[in-house]
Structure 1
Amino acid sequence: MKINYIRTLKELLKVSWNKKPVLLILWMMIALLVSFIPMLQIYGQKYLIDSIQNLLSDEAAISRVSLIISLMMSLNIVSATLSVYQQYIYTNINQEIGYFFRLLFAKKSTSLPMVCFEDPEYYNSYQLAKGSINSSLLDPLSTTLELCKTLITITSILSLITIINWYLPIILILSSLPGIWFLFIAKNQRLKYLVNNREESRMLEYFHMLISSKESAKEIRLFGLGNYLINMWSSLFVKNKKVLMKNQIFESRGAIFGVISTSLSYAIISIFLAFGILKDELTLGDFVAITTASVSLQAQVGVIGAGLSNMWESFFKIDQLFNFIENKKYSDVETSKTLSNNNMDIEEIDLVNLSFSYPGANVDTLKNINLKIKKGEKIAILGGNGSGKSTLVNCLLGLYHPTKGSIYINGELLTSENLPSYRTAISAVFQDYYRYKLSIRQNVAVGDLSKENNEDLIELLLSGVGLFEEVKKMKKGINSLLGKEFTNGFELSGGQWQRLAIARGLINDSKLLIIDEPTSALDPLAEMEIMTRFFELNEDKTTVLITHRLGPVKYADRIIVLDSGVIVEEGNHEQLLMLNGLYSAMYLAQSQWYKEHDSLQSAINF
């Protein structure tokens, strides 16, 4: 996979400079200073050994030894202090960088059109970026700086050895080349492994999550899926392990070969040094300095190897984030109602020859839909599973843009420019509503944040959906936290969560209310009670009800019947029964559910 290293470094440097310019300069200066410390320590060791050797013949050498020891101690203190301060600077800049890009990712994520979540390729890019955002975002710059520092350290040490003996650095470099070569090959193999096994790694993570997830716990125990899922995870793990160990063996062989070559060079250099001392060409300090330098160089080569692997991984992660942020395949949409003060009055919605197909699909989910909705009308849209009801809802809400055809609001084409104003005038209750692990107050108020502190309204809505009596029993009432994941958190039943979602949809002073399967988790009696109260509270609003349950549907002004993405029937309850078509068949099949509650049905007033 191609990684844009230059772009990543440029972006990180630009943001770091904008956020913390002084700290960035200090960080780089400290890295530069620290890179020379190993060479200075080796140089100090050489003169310390030589000075100690001269103590017997030169009494004045004791002061020189004391000075060198003091300087080396000071150098160690300076080195440790700089390293600590460098880590502090790294953490400081990393926090700023992390906040900046996480905020950028959050804004991008919340402004994506819904259709992008139906695009497998784009959604995969989104998931990769989502995984990257939790990593240390400054690591590409940090690992690059660390590699530069290591190269400077190696260069300075070789320069020091050259002063002592000109040909020894050549031996060291030549002896290190095979190890470095194998190191590069091994790291390249690891990179290929990481790229080629991304799918398997994500699948492993998924199975591990599935086995330990609260959401799947019931079915795992009920259907006895434990061993089945564990075996699937285990077989994937073993397969992954085989590939990993094969790569590890290759790396180990390369590492052993590198160690052998550098050890041989170390032995050869030691022999040369020993002869040099015998011939009085070198001092004992030279011997210690060069042997220490040889060991240090081996360690620095190891740092390069680890750095290359970490650098690629960090660049790969951040590159996925930048690819996602810069991806313009889908235009961003406005998601904050507070940015628009124009509360549009919806007189008419007109769907003209509307068709919609999901990304990558060969057939249209909706086909040539023509539908007008007048202000104050109560429209019911029904059909079986897969008929296109929820897709039509998403188009009406402006979450999906038609593949063909158009949507007109008060005669004006619905576009990205007027979409924010349109959304201020609509509210919705979704079939796949979200369970916010927040307080009950917040769960209702997310439908209209301006009413978060209106306790009377929130309690009225909870009462309307039959939930307030239960809430009153909780110690903190509407301020009670939901979710067993938290201390003192309450868990609601599926039906109670759905009632809460209905209250959320009702809190907005909207002109158009769209409700998608709002009572699917309720029994017929509870459904009739909720829907009766629901329409009483919203009799002055234009309402679109999407359902496959027909209890309250027969009292709609118009009923639209969808089948395979096409409007096949349209009319009121009596008209559609006379057609003896799809609606009539569905109504007769479900009518027995509601026979016990005819008295409740008659109370429903549109």
Structure 2
Amino acid sequence: MKLRDHFQIFRRAAKFTFSTNRKYTVLLIVNTVLSSIIGYVPIYFSAKVIDSLVAKSSIETVILYVALTVGIVFAVNLLNTYIASEKNVAYSAMWRNEDWSYSEKAMQMAYESIENPDVTKLRYRVRRESQTGFNLFFLYHNIEQFTAQITKIIASVVLTVSFFAISSVPIVFKLSIVAGLVITLLIQMYATKRTNNLERDFNASSVDMNIISEHFLNYIEHYEAGKDIRLYSMGDFLGDSYITLERDYYERALKNSYKKAAWTLPVTILNTVLKFGIYAVLIYAALKGGITVGSIAKYVTCIMLLVETLINIVTTTQQALYNNHYLKRYFSYFDIPNNMYQGSLTVEKRDDNEYYVEFRNVSFKYPNTEAYALRNVNLKFKIGEKLAIVGMNGSGKTTFIKLLCRLYDPTEGEILLNGVNIQKYDYDEYMSVFSVVFQDFSLFSFKIGEVVASSKTFDENKVRECLVKANFGDRLHEMPEGVHTYLYKGYDQSGIEISGGEAQKIALARALYKDSPFILLDEPTAALDPISEYEVYSNFNAISGDKTTVYISHRLASCRFCNKIVVFDDGKIVQHGSHEELLSDVNGKYHELWNAQAQYYTT
């Protein structure tokens, strides 16, 4: 990375810290300055006390120096304790905000980015790097270290500058100390750069293994996996598999540690030699009478601190440059653009409720793939129609729904709502037109009413009505807290566990509560038992009312409730019509699928 790139990252990071976490940043700097400078107060006054005792000064003078030392240290520590407590509170808030920012970004980016495995890998990597101390948190560590080291350098220089003016110490000794310090700093700089490179390469090569390891542990710890683990006696198998992963990681980490130690050892030796040299020069100066007894203690402590601080500031600088590689990746995640075109038109609120949707020559292929998932799809449907989308796995049914919901934009062709390309509508406005139940839906661990309404505030009567329509009324009646009952135990230990079929009913109720003109159902009865499925189908018209319902299913029996059926095969529409029309075509795909399923229900 070029120096200009480092500077740009530093500038952006500084701006980011002061704009998003100003309170914590200021408290961190003040707390660090006070913590760093307080150690020099006893050093300075101890020299004064020793010199006063040697010079046989008055006891009042000695007491004054001691009192000043104790008073200043006490006052600064008292102030710093308060600042540190405020800083810790601000740090906790910053950590929570930082953790939330990854999820917030995921909600704001285009859906195609969410499904992109490269984005998923990047999000995991930067999040894990933050959790292990890099990225933003290492930046704050650098700020703390730089603040402490600059404060110590200033204090040490102020207290030791007189040493270089001592005439009894030969100039060659003074220059030897300076030369030794410069050589040590240069070697420290190079060694730190090499160890940082080793660490960065090791972390980069461990990303995939860390993802697998974390997924492995999450699976084992999840209560739903507990049944399989026990029933199939998978404990030893899983344990051995995890140990194999960790053994490989440990062996690689150990080799990396040895390589880093080979670079840090020479620096440690040089640092030790330099300290002995400083001691020798100070002892020589004392023997020549060039410094007082009190000054010996002051110079020894301050010069040693100065040397250590200069070495540390080189290390901190190298670490900051090293962390820039992580910050660059960190910012690259939050810089992922939402390339989906954002229109500004509002969706017309028609009194006659006349909406129609048209797919016009629509083809689509997923990002980074060459094969088309949909090819030249032409379809038009209007409000009030009950449309079934059927076909084999991979035929393009769910992709059709994703395009209709504008989770993706077509590769070719266009989708129209009331004759207007849907890309021209305001995105949120367009999304308000659809209520969707996907096959892989998610329910959060909130109150049932909140889940159905997707809001903290909800109409209790409307929630109950929607749950009853979705055939969840009997189970709701059994709950003492009714719509205020928590789902699952993630948020409240009194929460209830529900079956897959019950979850599907709640998801359907959520779609009904939104009360949109279009209802899109992707396998809405896949987890239901036959009786519940029949009840949903029987109430299908009552559930959907005068809304347009687009229904995806593998179970062709459900298609009889729809007045129009569209058959997909290999990304293309190969048939469309009513159930009777399609079934009468003995050479058609629908007839083939119907008979394939019918054999399991006839004897």
TM-score, length-scaled by structure 1: 0.85
Aligned to 1:420: 428
Are the structure 2 counterparts of residues 518 and 26 from structure 1 closer, same or farther at C-alpha, using a change threshold of 3 Å? closer
- Report if the CA contact (8 A) 1:346-1:511 is conserved: no
Other-structure match for 2:279: 270
1:246 to 249, 252, 255: 255
State the alpha-carbon separation in 2 of the partners of residues 81 and 303 from structure 1: 28
Moved more, 170-179 or 479-488: 170-179
Which of 473, 484, 498 aligns to 2:489? It is 484
Conservation of the 8 A alpha-carbon contact between 1:172 and 1:294: no
Shift of 1:484: 3.1
Q: Deviations over 1:126-149 (max 9, x none)?
A: 444555777794651452242243
Indicate if the aligned counterparts of 2:27 and 2:84 stay in contact, CA closer than 8 A. no
Structure 2 residue aligned with 1:566: 572
Are 2:423 and 1:433 equivalent residues in the alignment?
no
Q: State the number of aligned residues.
A: 586
User: Superposed, which structure 2 residues align to 1:208-227 within 5 Å?
Assistant: 208-227=217-236
Q: Is the 8 A contact 2:435 2:516 kept in 1?
A: yes
Q: Describe the shift of the 1:227–1:160 C-alpha distance in structure 2 as closer, same or farther (beyond 3 A).
A: same
Shift of 1:383: 0.7
2-structure distance, mates of 1:481, 1:67: 67
Cα deviation, 1:558-604, whole Å, max 9, x if unaligned, reads: 211111111112121122112222211221222356679xxxxxxxx
Counterpart in the other structure of 2:367: 359
Tell me how large the CA RMSD over aligned residues is: 3.5
Letter in 2 for 1:573: H
Structure 1 105/191 Cα, relative in aligned 2: closer, same or farther at 3 Å? closer
C-alpha deviations, 1:354-386, integer Å up to 9, x for none? 111111111011111111112221111101111
Partner of residue 42, structure 1: 43
Written as runs of structure 1 = structure 2, the 5 A alignment for 1:111-510 is 111-128=108-125, 130-131=127-128, 137=136, 139-158=138-157, 160-165=159-164, 167-168=173-174, 169-170=177-178, 173-174=181-182, 176-177=184-185, 178-179=187-188, 181-297=190-306, 299-300=308-309, 304=313, 307=316, 311=320, 318-328=327-337, 330-331=339-340, 343=349, 345-446=353-454, 449=455, 453-485=458-490, 486-510=492-516
Report the CA distance shift for 1:333/1:123 in structure 2 as closer, same or farther (over 3 A): farther
Preserved CA contact (<8 Å) 2:435 2:519: yes
Rounded Cα–Cα distance in structure 2 between residues aligned with 1:170 and 1:82: 37
Gapped regions of structure 2 (runs ≥ 5): 166-172
Identity of aligned residues (%): 25
Contact (CA 8 Å) 1:379, 1:556: kept in 2 or not?
A: yes
CA contact 2:395–2:569 (8 Å) conserved in 1: yes
Is the CA contact (8 Å cut-off) linking 2:347 and 2:425 kept in structure 1? no
Which residue type is aligned with residue 359 of structure 1? P
Would the aligned equivalents of 1:354 and 1:406 in 2 still touch at CA under 8 Å? yes
Q: Is the 8 A contact 2:106 2:114 kept in 1?
A: no
Gaps of 5+ in 1: 597-606
* Most deviating of 518-527 and 266-275: 266-275
| Aligned partners of 2:363 and 2:411 also within 8 Å | yes
Q: Structure 1 residues 314, 184: closer, same or farther in 2, change over 3 A?
A: closer
State the secondary structure of the residue aligned to 1:381: strand
Q: CA deviation at 1:342?
A: 5.4
Deviation at 1:306, TM superposition (A): 7.3
Per-residue Cα deviation, 1:103-123 (whole angstroms, up to 9, x for no partner): 765554323222222322233
TM-aligned CA deviation for residue 513 of structure 1: 1.2
Q: Distance in 1 between matches of 2:237 and 2:341?
A: 42
TM-score normalised to structure 2 length: 0.86
Give yes or no for contact 1:378–1:542 (8 Å, CA) kept in 2: yes
Partner residue of 1:599? none
Residue 307 (structure 1) shift: 4.5
Deviation by residue 1:256-308 (Cα, 9 ceiling, x = unmatched): 43333232233333233333322222222232223223543465367547756
CA–CA distance in structure 1, aligned partners of residues 594 and 561 of structure 2: 13
Q: For residue 505 of structure 1, what is the amino acid of its counterpart?
A: A
Q: Give, as a single letter, the amino acid of the residue that structure 2 aligns with 1:382.
A: V
